[in-house]
A and B are shown apart, each in its own frame.
Chain A
């Protein structure tokens, strides 16, 4: 086989000399042989055969045959014709190489321990080549280096190293937070559902907000104290109070509508000009405002405007019995404001207290709601 890649053309047509001259301008022709008046065979470099072919076609020549030979042509043919096969072969070779290594780590069964921490430990301390990985050694190493791991099992699946971990379960004595359950509000205990801990109250007891309801320990048969998490559901009757006051006579103050205005011009807080009307109101209230006089000057001239409003007093007499229902409703609404998260309202009642000039309405709404609060959560 020739080293040099050549293409042999056999062409058919007339006036070939002229076309050969044109071809010779773009490529060197070799072994030009006139077989007959209309047929010629010649060779040209393979890399330029497309140019030659294009020119021949443009001149109307019939290309009887076109044959390629040479190493370069063979290589190109292999690259094009067998490219797919070659690609598949390369893929399988790469796959074969890659399959020798672990590229992914899958950690399961961890709750308290970090997956990232375990993965980085395995990556750091063990090779990723499959044949060099000893899964037993990984299991032992994990259990030795992580206190929270009680059991570990490893296996290689494909290119993934699967690590299944069982974490140690903490005993009840050291589990949870040891805080007592305390009363959330003043109440009467109505129902107790104890899960763990020691009760300090019983049904019917009155407790104040902050009182301990369940202690975070138990006393066993031997008399020793064991810490446990205090868990219980404690319901209580909560007294939600609201109050309103009624006065039989009261003084109401209102503005008469008369006003006096006093103006002052200030600079840096100092009064440099003032205009004041005489204030002859016996009872009054004032309102004042500061206004910037000039916007563009750096000197802060301000106008202080003070308005005096004349007031008058009026004594209003009122009978409680006439407005009794209104004040009871006011007290009820205030009591309802204190009712939060109640399961249900059990009872409502009110009491009246009379003093010299006033009547007090105390309204009470009794609700049933959970009062035990575990502060640790």
Chain B
């Protein structure tokens, strides 16, 4: 099955360290996350979750989790900032 993210990684000459997590921001209204390791914060303004060796913080307005599974997250709402710390 075709996987867009995998194709991109294969095209890169140096793809080391690219297998921890994936984030896709669609028009600032939907953020799709693969490879999260657990939710840390959940509110309408901030959603944060753990990834490998880091925490990702998403800030915005009216944020909701459209989907939360074992390793994927879909965040809906007005996404203003995505930050990895």
* A residues adjacent to B (C-beta < 8 A): 16-17, 20-21, 23-25, 28-34, 37, 40, 42
B65 beta carbon closer than 8 Å to chain A: yes
* B42 CB contact (under 8 Å) in A23, A25, A30, A34: A34
Instruction: Give 27 pairs: A residue, B residue, CB < 8 Å, sorted on A.
Output: A16-B42, A17-B42, A23-B68, A24-B68, A24-B69, A24-B70, A28-B68, A29-B67, A29-B68, A29-B69, A30-B66, A30-B67, A30-B68, A31-B64, A31-B65, A31-B66, A32-B65, A32-B66, A32-B68, A33-B44, A33-B64, A33-B65, A34-B43, A34-B64, A37-B43, A40-B42, A42-B68
Assess whether A28 is in contact with B69, with CB atoms less than 8 Å apart. Answer: yes
List the 6 closest pairs (A to B, CB-CB), nearest first: A32-B65, A28-B69, A29-B68, A21-B38, A33-B64, A17-B39
B22 beta carbon closer than 8 Å to chain A: no
B41 beta carbon closer than 8 Å to chain A: yes
Q: Once the chains are docked, how many angstroms separate the CA of A131 from the CA of B23?
A: 75
Across the interface, name the chain B residue whose C-beta is closest to A26: B70
Q: In the complex, what residues of B have CB within 8 A of residue A34's CB? A: 42-44, 64
B54 beta carbon closer than 8 Å to chain A: no
Told that A17-B38, A24-B39, A30-B67 touch, could you supply 7 new A-B pairs with CB distance under 8 A?
A: A17-B42, A20-B42, A28-B70, A30-B68, A31-B66, A34-B42, A40-B42
Nearest CB in chain A: distance from B73 CB, A: 9
Q: In the complex, what residues of A have CB within 8 A of residue B64's CB? A: 31-34
Q: In the complex, what residues of A have CB within 8 A of residue B24's CB? A: none
Q: Once the chains are docked, how many angstroms separate the CA of A250 from the CA of B67?
A: 132
Q: In the complex, what residues of A have CB within 8 A of residue B39's CB? A: 17, 20-21, 24
Q: Once the chains are docked, how many angstroms separate the CA of A16 from the CA of B38?
A: 12
Across the interface, name the chain B residue whose C-beta is closest to A41: B64
Nearest CB in chain A: distance from B39 CB, A: 5
Q: Once the chains are docked, how many angstroms separate the CA of A118 from the CA of B42?
A: 85
Q: Once the chains are docked, how many angstroms separate the CA of A156 from the CA of B66?
A: 69
Nearest CB in chain A: distance from B57 CB, A: 13
Q: In the complex, what residues of A have CB within 8 A of residue B44's CB? A: 33-34
Q: Once the chains are docked, how many angstroms separate the CA of A21 from the CA of B68?
A: 8
Q: Once the chains are docked, how many angstroms separate the CA of A30 from the CA of B40?
A: 17
Q: Once the chains are docked, how many angstroms separate the CA of A284 from the CA of B64?
A: 133
Q: In the complex, what residues of A have CB within 8 A of residue B65's CB? A: 29, 31-33, 42
Assess whether B42 is in contact with A32, with CB atoms less than 8 Å apart. Answer: yes
Nearest CB in chain A: distance from B51 CB, A: 13
Q: In the complex, what residues of A have CB within 8 A of residue B66's CB? A: 30-32
Question: Quick one: CB contact mask for B57-85 with A, threshold 8 Å, 1 for yes?
Answer: 00000001111111000000000000000
Q: In the complex, what residues of A have CB within 8 A of residue B38's CB? A: 17, 21
Q: In the complex, what residues of B have CB within 8 A of residue A30's CB? A: 66-68
* B67 CB contact (under 8 Å) in A17, A25, A28: A28
Across the interface, name the chain A residue whose C-beta is closest to B65: A32
Across the interface, name the chain B residue whose C-beta is closest to A27: B69
